[in-house]
Homo-oligomer: A and B are copies of this chain.
Amino acid sequence: MKALGTHIVCELSGCDPAKLSDVDAVADMMVQAAHEANATVIERAFHRFQPQGVSGVVVIQESHLSIHTWPESGYAAMDFYTCGDHTDPWAACEYAAKALVATVMTTTEVKRGIEAGADRYTHVVTTDHDVRELARIA
């Protein structure tokens, strides 16, 4: 199955609220996550909400990484979507989970841009709703 890209939908729970609140630190973490994935950053857009929470996206040469945080709940909703054989979105995902000190990581992986004939592209959910207890395996 040849796919143009891999997209990980990820919920991180039990994160450090302080790390979810600092927009500059979150942006830096996301850029580093892109580097961990061996991706090239081309644009970034981050915003801090009042009273709390951060939303932001790093557009990479190979698609994008996104984050939306709820510090009051220790929760971050993230996406890691990279194209090309040279990138590894899982490296970005693992890095973010560690950086935010998450205790539970729930992921679903979607292979995207799969040729389905006649100029048609489709996607396939390859791992659905995988839950990892990070505190226990640390």
User: Which residues of A approach B to under 8 Å, CB–CB?
Assistant: 4-5, 7, 9, 11, 13-14, 42-47, 49, 55-57, 59, 61, 63-64, 66, 68, 70, 73-75, 77, 79, 81, 83, 104, 106, 108, 110, 112-113, 119-125, 128-129, 131
| Residues from chain B with Cβ under 8 Å of A55 in the complex | 42-43, 59, 63-64
Other-chain residue from B4, B59, B77 in contact with A5 (beta carbon distance below 8 A): B77
A98 to B47, CA, bound (A): 30
Q: Are A47 and B43 in contact (CB under 8 A)?
A: yes
The prevalent SS among residues of A at the interface is strand
Given the known inter-chain contacts A57-B66, A125-B128, please indicate yes or no for A77 contacting B47, CB distance below 8 A.
Answer: no
Give complex CA distance A118, B79 in Å.
23
A112 cross-chain contacts in B, Cβ below 8 A: 9, 11, 77
Q: Are B110 and A9 in contact (CB under 8 A)?
A: yes
What are 22 A-B interface contacts by the 8 Å CB criterion? A9-B9, A9-B112, A13-B120, A42-B47, A42-B55, A43-B57, A45-B59, A49-B61, A57-B57, A66-B66, A66-B81, A70-B113, A75-B113, A75-B121, A77-B81, A77-B121, A79-B79, A104-B120, A108-B125, A122-B129, A123-B129, A124-B129
